[in-house]
Amino acid sequence: MGKVIRSQDDNWVRAEDASAIGALRRAAVTLAEERGFDEEDAGRVAVAVSEAASNMVKHAVEGVMLVRPHPELDSAVEVIAIDRGPGMRDVSRALRDGYSTTGTLGIGLGGIARMTSGYEVHSMPGRGTVLDMYFTARDAPHPASRLSGLTRPIGEEVVCGDAFASTDDGTTTNVMLCDGLGHGSAAAYASQEASRLFLEHMDLGPVAVLERIHRGLGTTRGGAVAVARIDRTAGTVSFAGLGNVSAWITHPEGRQGMISVPGIAGYAARTLRQYEYNAPPDSVIVLHSDGLSDRWDITSYPGLVARTPSVVAATLLRDAGTRRDDACVVALRPWT
| DSSP per-residue codes, 192-250 | HHHHHHHHHHTTS-HHHHHHHHHHHGGGS--EEEEEEEEETTTTEEEEEEESS-EEEEE
What confidence score (pLDDT) does residue 316 get?
Answer: 98
Percent of the chain scoring above 70 in pLDDT:
93
CA distance 73 to 149: 13
Q: How far apart are CA 241 and CA 226, in angstroms?
A: 4
Residue 106 pLDDT grade (very low, low, confident, very high; cuts 50, 70, 90): very low
pLDDT for res 104: 37
129-148 mean pLDDT: 94
Q: Kindly report the average pLDDT of the chain as a whole number.
A: 91
For residue 59, the surrounding DSSP H or E stretch is: helix 39-59
pLDDT in tens, 224-239: 999 999 998 888 999 9
Closest CA to 46 of 66, 64, 30: 30
Average pLDDT of the segment spanning 91-108 = 50
pLDDT in the model for residue 93: 58
Q: What pLDDT is recorded for position 150?
A: 98
38/31 Cα distance (integer angstroms): 12
Confidence bin at 336 (pLDDT 50/70/90): low
- What local confidence, expressed as pLDDT, does residue 92 receive? 61
β-bridge partners, 248: 257, 286
Q: How far apart (Å, rounded) are the C-alpha atoms in residues 222 and 227?
A: 15
Residues in a beta bridge with 178: 163, 225
Q: Which of 246, 223, 245, 237 is nearest to 296 (CA)?
A: 246
Query: Quick one: pLDDT at residue 334?
Result: 86
pLDDT exceeds 80 at position 1: no
Minimal CA–CA distance to 125: which of 163, 161, 87, 95? 87
> Which residue did the predictor score with more confidence, 59 or 80?
80
In the chain, the N- to C-terminal Cα span, in Å, equals 19
**Rounded Cα distance, 64 and 318, in Å:** 10
pLDDT tens digits along 283-312? 999 999 999 999 999 999 999 999 999 999
User: What is the C-alpha separation between 16 and 38, in angstroms, rounded?
Assistant: 30
Of 57, 14, 13, whose CA–CA distance to 31 is shortest? Answer: 13
Q: Say what the pLDDT of residue 95 is.
A: 58
As a whole number of angstroms, the distance between CA 322 and CA 282 comes to: 28
- pLDDT score of 325 more than 60: yes
Strand pairing category for 236-242 and 246-251: unpaired
> Quick check: 135 pLDDT over 90?
yes
Q: Name the residue among 296, 284, 304 with its Cα closest to residue 129.
A: 304
C-alpha distance from residue 119 to each of 31, 78, 276 (Å): 18, 10, 33
- 8-state DSSP, 17: S
The percentage of the chain sitting over the pLDDT mark of 90, rounded to a whole number, equals: 77
Q: How many helices (H) and strands (E) does the chain have?
A: 7, 18
Whether the pTM exceeds 0.85: the reply is: yes
Q: What is the pLDDT of residue 170?
A: 87
